Amino acid sequence: MNMTLEELTNKLKKKKIRLSYQRIKILEYINNHRIHPTVDQIYNDLRKEVPTLSKTTVYNTLNTLADSNLVKVITIGDNEARYDVTIKNHGHFKCESCGIIFDFNIDFNSFKIDGLSNFQINQKDIYFKGLCPKCIKKDASE
Amino acid sequence: MNMTLEELTNKLKKKKIRLSYQRIKILEYINNHRIHPTVDQIYNDLRKEVPTLSKTTVYNTLNTLADSNLVKVITIGDNEARYDVTIKNHGHFKCESCGIIFDFNIDFNSFKIDGLSNFQINQKDIYFKGLCPKCIKKDASE
DNA sequence: TAATTAATTTGTAATCGTTACAATATAGTA
DNA sequence: TACTATATTGTAACGATTACAAATTAATTA
Ligand SMILES: [Mn+2]
Ligand SMILES: [Mn+2]
Ligand SMILES: [Zn+2]
Ligand SMILES: [Zn+2]
């Protein structure tokens, strides 16, 4: 799961993204914190290590990485975007009580779809919402 | 597809939503314009008929209707919400070129899911993105 | 290695969708 | 008709994101 600095820089080089300290740090953060963080989480955590970091740079970098498919933008919340390293396709479940976003496996090829012939599908997002096990228990004991 | 005024008011009554001219007009609009309109579209179109209408009322009403499951909020775009009459579950496809949101049929019960045992699922959103047939042709002829 | 240049970072201001709020108006009820 | 709780309205505030210009830096070249 954790990638070396060299592996990360190679990822950027392959996509012809110029190397910068900030970009490497942000890509490193996304790889080491697979909790679908928000821009604010990334910014506030990284600021400790990179005090000069600007929030604009976090936005710019995440947009750059998303354009190159190195990160995936998750817009399951209504308000702020969350970010995920792009690994194999999976679904996202957001608990409406605690707000945590969980990954789940779903077979993207088994969908029985009707009405999209002659459409070119570039992206499939599966967003579920409800209650996570912990919050179900908490609710029951109130 | 088009519902009578009486049917619409009954829908509101059943959900114990107080009847107001604005609410009926907005619910009527959503029912007659099944193109997943934005708040601005609803507001600007309805303003012709209801000149005193406030945009806040459009937001308030749509939130009320969504809370009662009379409309569904679609957050496939990154920026603004779109609204749909709640009929049977279906998927949404957004064309990345023209921006139109298309409905498609998908069997919500056929999903092969792994990792959500003991979760309570309240909502399933299926969002696809890509190019619609018209935009594929347009791109090819350029 | 030093100079050059194009791209990146930074801080601030602006934008845009949405919500908060208080005053006015209205719907439902008696 | 009178009463009261709720809805509407206009404006201000909010929060996430982007625009912009000046300062900095990465990659390239001499
Ligand atoms: Mn994920
Ligand atoms: Mn629809
Ligand atoms: Zn939870
Ligand atoms: Zn299109």
Are A79 and A121 members of one domain? no
Give B118→chain A minimum CA distance, Å. 6
Q: How confident is the model at residue A138 (pLDDT cuts 50, 70, 90)?
A: confident
Are A98 and A114 members of one domain? yes
- In this predicted model, what pLDDT tens digit does every residue of A34-81 receive, in sequence order? 999 999 999 999 999 999 999 999 999 999 999 999 999 999 987 899
Distance set, CA A6 to CA A19, A21, A67, A70, A142 (Å): 12, 13, 21, 15, 50
pTM as predicted: 0.92
Are A9 and A69 members of one domain? yes
By residue range, what is the domain housing residue A117?
91-141
Closest CA to B38 of B59, B68, B67: B59
pLDDT surpasses 90 at B107: yes
Are A27 and A63 members of one domain? yes
Which residues pair with residue A128 across a beta bridge?
Answer: A93, B124
Are B44 and B79 members of one domain? yes
Are A16 and A80 members of one domain? yes
Determine if strand D comes within 7 Å of the CB of B15.
Answer: no
Are A80 and A10 members of one domain? yes
Closest CA to B22 of B44, B54, B69: B54
Are A21 and A66 members of one domain? yes
Query: Any idea which nucleotide's C1' is nearest the CA of A79?
Result: D16
Domain termination residue (choose one: B55, B84, B113): B84
- In this predicted model, what pLDDT tens digit does every residue of A98-121 receive, in sequence order? 999 999 999 998 888 999 999 999
Structure token digits, residue A35? 């909790």
Domain termination residue (choose one: B84, B114, B132): B84
Domain termination residue (choose one: B44, B61, B84): B84
Would you tell me which residues 99-138 of chain A have a C-beta closer than 8 angstroms to some C-beta of chain B? Answer: 102-107, 110-116, 118-133, 136
So what's the pLDDT on residue B87?
A: 82
So what's the pLDDT on residue B49?
A: 96
Domain total of chain B:
2
pLDDT surpasses 80 at B24: yes
Residue A122: phi, psi to the nearest 5? -100, -25
Closest-approach residue (CA) in chain A for B107: A112
Domain containing residue B52: CATH number: 1.10.10.10
